[in-house]
Amino acid sequence: MQRIASFSVDHTKLDRGMYTSRVDGDVVTYDIRMKRPNAGEYLENAAMHTFEHLFATYARSSALSDKVVYVGPMGCRTGFYLLVRGMSEQEAILLVQQSMAFIAAYEGEIPGATEPECGNYREQDLLGAKREAAAMGQVLQNWTAEKLAYPAYLA
């Protein structure tokens, strides 16, 4: 089997941030790295689940919704993937920054968190999701398109 591209990034050196993970034709995959890999701190399942509901809802309700292909968590629980089509790098950064601010300030019912809408609707943690979003918002506060490339020492 072929080694997939994401396994070629040195996870012992990868830090929190937003990176262009891959480009497949007109689809760009962004690595929204919220936790340092293998550092012993991971996204808690319930907070990650709530974060997913809020991130996906915000991104798919934004002015850029028609350019959002997918929003979903990494199995390693260190972040999320955002797949987009026809979106500039600056638009992607701004969408993620705005998503973090939205989640950090969110109050109310969690979208899609009812039994008919979700396969695990009881496992939610709004406070945890808000805490993670606020922390990641700080990381991405001054993020630029130049920072989207994985640093050369990671490949």
Q: pLDDT tens track of the chain, all 155 residues?
A: 877 667 777 888 889 999 999 999 999 999 999 999 999 999 999 999 999 999 999 999 999 999 999 999 999 999 999 999 999 999 999 999 999 999 999 999 999 999 999 999 999 999 999 999 999 999 999 999 999 998 776 65
Q: In the chain, which ranges are continuous DSSP H helix?
A: 45-61, 89-105, 126-139
pLDDT at position 154 is: 64
CATH of span 14-140: 3.30.1360.80
Amino acid at 78: T
Q: Give CA–CA dist 47/54, Å, rounded.
A: 11
pLDDT at position 13 is: 85
Distances from the Cα of 34 to the Cα of 45, 88, 118, 129, angstroms: 14, 22, 24, 12
Rg of the chain over CA atoms, in angstroms?
15
Residue boundaries of the structural domains of the chain: 14-140
pLDDT at position 7 is: 72
- Cβ(10)–Cβ(154) below 8 Å: yes
The position carrying tokens 């262009």 is 20
pLDDT at position 69 is: 98
